[in-house]
Structure 1
Amino acid sequence: MLVEVEKTAEFPWSSLMVQVRTSFGHTAVRWCGAPDIPSGHYHVEWTIDEEIVWGQNARPADEASSGLEQEGHCVIVRGWLKLTVDGAAVLQLGGDQVLLDVVGSIPIATDGSWVNLYLQRENIALHPYEL
């Protein structure tokens, strides 16, 4: 996915964070590339390093579109959920797929529906790559 990195920030207590803008929202997340990146456009892969528990940090969404919203140190990630036959889940986020680490079970009725994930921003990572 192509994103725009607006600025970077490094804090002694956390990883390198970037303020990123997409076609469906903007937020600050962890950057897993070179630390001295200039602002600009980058192709990235998204990962979510937080266990997903239905009813706690995953709930049905009111809107039927991808989204990113910052709420304090949390990020609300909205995407289309697809359950796999082996009990895993994949979130369709703006055209990209993000594998989710699910704890417990997700109701089968949510397969093919829009969901909100409520995540710590340090647990969302962007991995840049070259085309």
Structure 2
Amino acid sequence: MLVELVKVAKFPWSTWLAQVRTPFGGTAVRWCGDQAAKPGRYHVEWTVDEDIAWGWNAKPAVGVGPGVRPGGHCVVLRGRLYLTVDGAAVLDFDGSQILLDLADPLPDGVAGTWGELFLEREKIALYPYGL
């Protein structure tokens, strides 16, 4: 996914964080690229480092379409949820696929619907890559 990197910063209590913008919102998340990265456009892969539990850190979406926004102490990612053949899940995030580990199976009828993930910013990572 192509994002606009606003800045990369580190605070004493956190990992390196990137302030990013997308066409459907922006937030700050863990940055796994060059710590001296300059502002600009970067292709990134999103990863989630937390088990997803429906009703706890995953819920039906408020609205439709992809989205990313700060949510108090967390970051909210909105996309379509799909199941993989091996029992994991994928969040389709504007064409980018984010592989998710599930704490428990998704309830019946959730696959294919819009969902929102509520995750700590350090549990979402961006890995820049070149094309």
Tell me whether the two structures share a fold, i.e. TM-score over 0.5. Answer: yes
- TM-score, normalization by structure 1: 0.96
Runs of 4+ in structure 1 over 4 Å off: none
SS in 1 for 2:28: strand
The Cα of 1:62 is off from its aligned counterpart by 2.5
1:53 aligns with 2:53: yes
Q: Are the counterparts in 2 of residues 24 and 94 from structure 1 also a CA contact under 8 Å?
A: no
Gaps spanning 5+ residues in structure 1: where? Answer: none
1:128 aligns with 2:124: no
- TM-score, normalization by structure 2: 0.96
1:90 aligns with 2:85: no
Give the AA of the match of 1:28: A
Could you tell me which residue of structure 2 aligns to residue 15 of structure 1? 15
SS in 2 for 1:63: coil
Alpha-carbon distance between aligned partners in 1 of 2:73 and 2:31, rounded to the nearest angstrom: 16
Alpha-carbon distance between aligned partners in 1 of 2:87 and 2:81, rounded to the nearest angstrom: 13
The size of the alignment, in residue pairs, is 131
Alpha-carbon distance between aligned partners in 1 of 2:49 and 2:86, rounded to the nearest angstrom: 19
Alpha-carbon distance between aligned partners in 1 of 2:96 and 2:44, rounded to the nearest angstrom: 10
The Cα of 1:7 is off from its aligned counterpart by 1.3
